[in-house]
Amino acid sequence: VGGRDRFVGAEPIDVLKTVFGFPAFRGLQGDAVARVMAGADTLVLMPTGGGKSVCYQIPALCRRGMGLVVSPLIALMDDQVAALRQLGVNAAALHSELSEDEAFRIRADLADGRLDILYVSPERLLSSGTLDRLTRQSISVIAIDEAHCISAWGHEFRPEYRALESLPRNFPGVPRIALTATADPRTRDDILAALAMPHAEVLSASFHRPNLIISARPKGGETKQLIAALDRRRGDASIVYCGSRARTERTAATLRDKGFPACAYHAGLSPQEKRAALHRFRSGEPIVMVATIAFGMGIDRPDVRAVVHLDMPSSAEAYYQQIGRAGRDGLPSDTLLLYGGEDMTRARYWLDQSAAPESEKRVMRGRLEAMIALTETTSCRTRALLACFGEVLPEPCGHCDNCRSPAPTFDGTEAARKLLSAVYRTGQRFGALHVISVLRGKPSDSASRNGHDKLSVWGIGKDGSETFWRGVVRQLIARGALRMGDEHGGLALNDEVARPILRGDEPVMLREDAIEAETASGRKGE
């Protein structure tokens, strides 16, 4: 096997072939490797499955010294170490879940200069004992994996990552390579600033994943919609993302009743339960993981055939990362986002209420609005999603739901005016269901108690079904004419957007298919 520096002097491409067994570099890998070999700092942006690991593993072997890899997740480190060991690379991981014996053995290997690559969690790396040991070693390269964790704007912020700013002082002259699958420009700038590498070259791959079939539909009988999506992929692995822990448990139970091998995963599970769930997922057996966003980084199963969102993510970035867990093997895979007006008003409301500084809220709001716009877009969804990352797809993708069956629209100006009037006349404190029942003139205690059956808007929407009106509400929310006025879900007008519509100055085109889809799947939600 030979010592640690046995590949020093070898050509990177030869190491790629002989150690990793790949015939050629893929995409930006060659460029990234060349830069690190030359001793320069680099930031690599590549979608999940793009092949980021090779970018630092090859320089780690070909440069003198040991490669140091900062990684946020133990499961991720252990996977990488196991894979490298199979290739004959002497890799190890230092983290909090090692036994005393294991930690002792790794420290001994480290002291003897036997390790090719060491994975380490950020808090472990910067603890004084470890830092002392490492600064005594010769280090070939420092890789910062999942580098977006350093950005407070991101959806996976890890405060421990902030301390990585001190790396150049502790390891002067050692080239650094930061890697992430998060593409938005804001996060990228944040990474460069936080790692104190303003002059790093940024290598950015295309984020287009042509094998992902993106689709989104308004909620309408979620359980049925979910089962229909998963049925197509029975016998495969799927992930279902939910907005809350309780919902993962409930949904997993429902799916098990329907004969799916479903398993809930969220941050409230014990470490043993988490490990067992991950083990099942990794084993290759058919499984439906019903999870919160806690199930994320380091999920490295290549054959996930479907990702379904039962709740809308808070940003296009989070959405992209989550659907990106499907089809890492490059085979066609389905993604389905189910969305509803209430998700949107709630997300906006809580963002407004949050104690975060206004500057931060502005950024989060921008991201949320981009996500909402994605749900209601009538043009190519893949293109709209990539546009969020500043990438221009020259042609429509041809296989997202909107490309396959373009969404017809109709002139919904009158319907929109009626609905906004009803919200206004009922005092801007009632939820969608009440407002709709007033429009449709449906007698109820609440309507008579509040005198709503005497209003001019009573019954002016009789000709539309409840489902139709729910579609109108959602689309008016999406375009910002309606908002959640209080924490009870009461709808209120956003004057700036609503007024021109009410006055009849602003035509409102609505998606027809969205409304039909709700009718077709039966409208009773859960």
Instruction: Kindly list the residues in this chain that would bind ligand ADP in the complex (CB under 6 A).
Output: 22, 25-26, 29, 46, 48-54
Q: What gap in Å lies between CA 492 and CA 481, rounded to an integer?
A: 9
Return the axis-axis angle of helices 52-62 and 29-37, rounded to nearest 10°. Answer: 30
Three-state DSSP state, 357: coil
- Work out how close the CB of 72 gets to ligand ADP at its nearest, in angstroms, rounded to a whole number: 13
- Work out how close the CB of 23 gets to ligand ADP at its nearest, in angstroms, rounded to a whole number: 7
The partner in contact with residue 54, picked from Zn ion, ligand ADP, none with C-beta cut-offs of 5 to 8 angstroms by kind, is: ligand ADP
Q: What gap in Å lies between CA 230 and CA 239, rounded to an integer?
A: 9
How far, in Å, are 48, 170, 329 from residue 207 at the CA level?
9, 34, 15
The partner in contact with residue 46, picked from Zn ion, ligand ADP, none with C-beta cut-offs of 5 to 8 angstroms by kind, is: ligand ADP
- Work out how close the CB of 415 gets to Zn ion at its nearest, in angstroms, rounded to a whole number: 28
The partner in contact with residue 382, picked from ligand ADP, Zn ion, none with C-beta cut-offs of 5 to 8 angstroms by kind, is: Zn ion
370 to 389: interface string for Zn ion, x by CB under 5 A: ----------x-x-------
Site for Zn ion in 401-420 (CB under 5 A): 403
Q: What gap in Å lies between CA 246 and CA 39, rounded to an integer?
A: 49
Q: Is 347 in the site for Zn ion (CB under 5 A)?
A: no
Tokens of residue 350, six digits:
């809580």
- Work out how close the CB of 175 gets to ligand ADP at its nearest, in angstroms, rounded to a whole number: 19
Question: Given the complex with ligand ADP, which of 49 and 327 has the nearer CB atom?
Answer: 49
- Work out how close the CB of 176 gets to ligand ADP at its nearest, in angstroms, rounded to a whole number: 17
Question: Beta 333-339 vs 287-291: how paired, if at all?
Answer: unpaired
Question: Given the complex with ligand ADP, which of 50 and 221 has the nearer CB atom?
Answer: 50
Question: Given the complex with Zn ion, which of 168 and 210 has the nearer CB atom?
Answer: 210
Which residues touch 362 (CB under 8 Å, ≥6 apart)? Answer: none
Compute the half-sphere exposure of residue 493: CA atoms within 13 Å on the CB side of its CA.
20
- Work out how close the CB of 51 gets to ligand ADP at its nearest, in angstroms, rounded to a whole number: 3
* Whether 229 contacts 336, CB under 8 Å: yes
Question: Given the complex with ligand ADP, which of 206 and 494 has the nearer CB atom?
Answer: 206
φ, ψ of residue 164 in degrees (nearest 5): -65, -10
Q: What gap in Å lies between CA 350 and CA 331, rounded to an integer?
A: 38
Q: Is 397 in the site for Zn ion (CB under 5 A)?
A: yes
Question: Given the complex with Zn ion, which of 90 and 215 has the nearer CB atom?
Answer: 215
Q: What gap in Å lies between CA 184 and CA 49, rounded to an integer?
A: 18
Question: Given the complex with Zn ion, which of 57 and 402 has the nearer CB atom?
Answer: 402
The partner in contact with residue 410, picked from ligand ADP, Zn ion, none with C-beta cut-offs of 5 to 8 angstroms by kind, is: none
Question: Given the complex with ligand ADP, which of 273 and 300 has the nearer CB atom?
Answer: 300
The partner in contact with residue 324, picked from Zn ion, ligand ADP, none with C-beta cut-offs of 5 to 8 angstroms by kind, is: none
Site for Zn ion in 282-341 (CB under 5 A): none
Q: Is 400 in the site for Zn ion (CB under 5 A)?
A: yes
Question: Given the complex with ligand ADP, which of 79 and 342 has the nearer CB atom?
Answer: 79
Query: Closest Cα to residue 239, out of 334, 343, 154, 313?
Result: 334
- Work out how close the CB of 326 gets to ligand ADP at its nearest, in angstroms, rounded to a whole number: 13
- Work out how close the CB of 232 gets to Zn ion at its nearest, in angstroms, rounded to a whole number: 19
The partner in contact with residue 403, picked from ligand ADP, Zn ion, none with C-beta cut-offs of 5 to 8 angstroms by kind, is: Zn ion
- Work out how close the CB of 391 gets to ligand ADP at its nearest, in angstroms, rounded to a whole number: 17
Question: Given the complex with Zn ion, which of 380 and 460 has the nearer CB atom?
Answer: 380
Stretch that binds Zn ion, among 265-273, 295-303, 390-398, 504-512 (CB under 5 A): 390-398
Return the axis-axis angle of helices 512-520 and 466-478, rounded to nearest 10°. Answer: 140
For 379-404, give one letter per residue: b (16+ CB within 10 A) or e: ebbbbbbbbbbeeebeebbebbbbbe
The partner in contact with residue 367, picked from ligand ADP, Zn ion, none with C-beta cut-offs of 5 to 8 angstroms by kind, is: none
- Work out how close the CB of 274 gets to ligand ADP at its nearest, in angstroms, rounded to a whole number: 21
How many Å separate Cα 148 from the centre of its chain?
12
* Whether 299 contacts 260, CB under 8 Å: no
How far, in Å, are 89, 134, 184, 186, 337 from residue 390 at the CA level?
38, 39, 7, 11, 22
Tokens of residue 456, six digits:
């001019």
The partner in contact with residue 400, picked from Zn ion, ligand ADP, none with C-beta cut-offs of 5 to 8 angstroms by kind, is: Zn ion
The partner in contact with residue 380, picked from ligand ADP, Zn ion, none with C-beta cut-offs of 5 to 8 angstroms by kind, is: Zn ion
Query: Closest Cα to residue 268, out of 280, 277, 258?
Result: 277
Q: Is 521 in the site for Zn ion (CB under 5 A)?
A: no
Which residues touch 257 (CB under 8 Å, ≥6 apart)? Answer: none
Chain residues in the site for Zn ion (CB under 5 A): 380, 382, 396-397, 400, 403
